[in-house]
Amino acid sequence: MIRGIIIDDESHNIINLQRLLEKYCPEVNIVGSSSDPNKGITLIQNNKPDLVFLDIQMPEKDGFQLLQELNSYDFEVIFVTAFSQYGIQAIKFSAIDYLLKPIDIEELKKAVTKTKEKLQNKKQNLQLQNLLYHLQENQSNSEHHRIAISSLKEIRFIYVKNIIRCESDNSYTLFFTDEGEIIISTLPIYEYDKILSVYGFIRSHQSHLVNKKYVKSLLKEDGDVLLLYDLTRIPVSRQKKDFVKKKLI
């Protein structure tokens, strides 16, 4: 899904665009909208969207001024305007999409499709950067290896050595780091089992993957349990009992 935000000073335009997106571009999920450009800035900063539909001509602050006040631009923009001459030449030179009001359905679908491709390419570029990083690193020194974690909002790159454990949450995986952060990945835990097993991670249970350097002891109470240095207790399934003992030695 593409997380979208609409900023337009006329509320009926927001409602109309939302309806068109729901009907013709269901891959776009509008997570917020505003008719106030100042509130729109906060909306972007708090929601970290993939895509912003931005009206150009608004009272107090136009769409270009709004963008100038932001510190980062890690999202795509589709400008929306009722005036064909208003900044369109500059937009064309910048290869950024725009829509003229009233919005043409086919033009909307084309713009969203192009945005989807841009977002996918951006994701692939980040993944490629991480691949090249690994290829350039000394493969014998796992201290500097990083893993790319695909979450709903971003792709996070964290050092393998900083991961304490992973826990399954249905089709998602929760990463617990040594800084107390929890990162939610959209991939299931078995995918990470394949990747992290070479770095000393142990699949002690169907729902748990543990970095063995954070294991303090193996407790023999109520079935085997791994006690971590942060005092977290991780179950060991009956089927994994012998496997876990062998890996901890």
Residue range(s) defining the domain that contains residue 204:
142-248
pLDDT beyond 50 at 236: yes
Q: Are residues 170 and 72 in the same domain?
A: no
Total domains present in the chain: 2
Could you tell me if residue 59 is inside a domain?
Answer: yes
Are 34 and 69 in a shared domain?
A: yes
Task: Examine the fold and report which residue of 89, 123, 157 is the final residue of a domain before the chain moves on.
Answer: 123
- Residue 93: per-residue pLDDT: 45
In the predicted structure, residue 141 carries a pLDDT above the cut 60: no
In sequence order, the 6+-apart residues with CB closer than 8 A to the CB of 8 are: 14, 17, 33, 35, 53, 54, 55, 58, 80
Q: Would residue 129 count as lying in a domain? A: no
Question: Are 100 and 205 in a shared domain?
Answer: no
- 104 lies in the same domain as 215: no
Alpha-carbon distance of 24 to 27, in angstroms, equals 9
Q: Is the pLDDT of residue 1 over 90?
A: no
pLDDT at 222 exceeding the cut of 50: yes
Specify the CATH number for the domain of residue 16.
3.40.50.2300
pTM of the predicted protein model: 0.54
Cβ neighbours of residue 204 under 8 Å, at least 6 residues apart? Answer: 210, 226, 234, 235, 236, 237, 240, 244
Among 90, 123, 156, where does a domain finish?
123
Least confident residue range of 36-40, 78-82, 135-139: 135-139
Write down which residue in 93, 123, 153 finishes a domain: 123
Mean pLDDT value across the chain: 86
User: Do 80 and 117 sit in the same domain of this protein?
Assistant: yes
Whether 134 is covered by a domain: the verdict is: no
Predicted confidence at residue 89, as pLDDT, reads 56
pLDDT tens track for 166-181: 999 988 999 999 999 9
For residue 161, give the CATH number of its domain: 2.40.50.1020
149 and 183 Cβ atoms separated by less than 8 Å:
yes
φ/ψ of 101, rounded to 5, equals -85, 145
> Residue 133: inside a domain, yes or no?
no
Q: Per the domain annotation, does 137 fall within a domain?
A: no
User: Beta partners for 225?
Assistant: 219, 235
Same structural domain, 177 and 64: no
State whether 82 and 187 are in the same domain. Answer: no
Does 146 lie in the same domain as 71? no
Residue 135: inside a domain: no
- 10 and 108 fall within a common domain: yes
**106 within a domain of the structure (yes/no):** yes
For 127-137, give one letter per residue: b (16+ CB within 10 A) or e: eeebeeeeeee
State the average pLDDT over residues 57-86. Answer: 83
Same domain, 43 and 70: yes
Contact between 155 and 123 under an 8 Å Cβ cutoff? The reply is yes
- For residues 151 and 94, state if they share a domain: no
Residue-level pLDDT at 130: 61
- Predicted pLDDT of residue 90: 55
| Shared domain check, 111 and 30 | yes
Q: Is residue 1 a contact partner of residue 51, using CB atoms and an 8 Å limit?
A: no
Specify if 230 maps to a domain.
Answer: yes
Residue 126: pLDDT over 70: no
Report whether 218 contacts 202 (CB < 8 A).
no
Confidence (pLDDT) at 62:
86
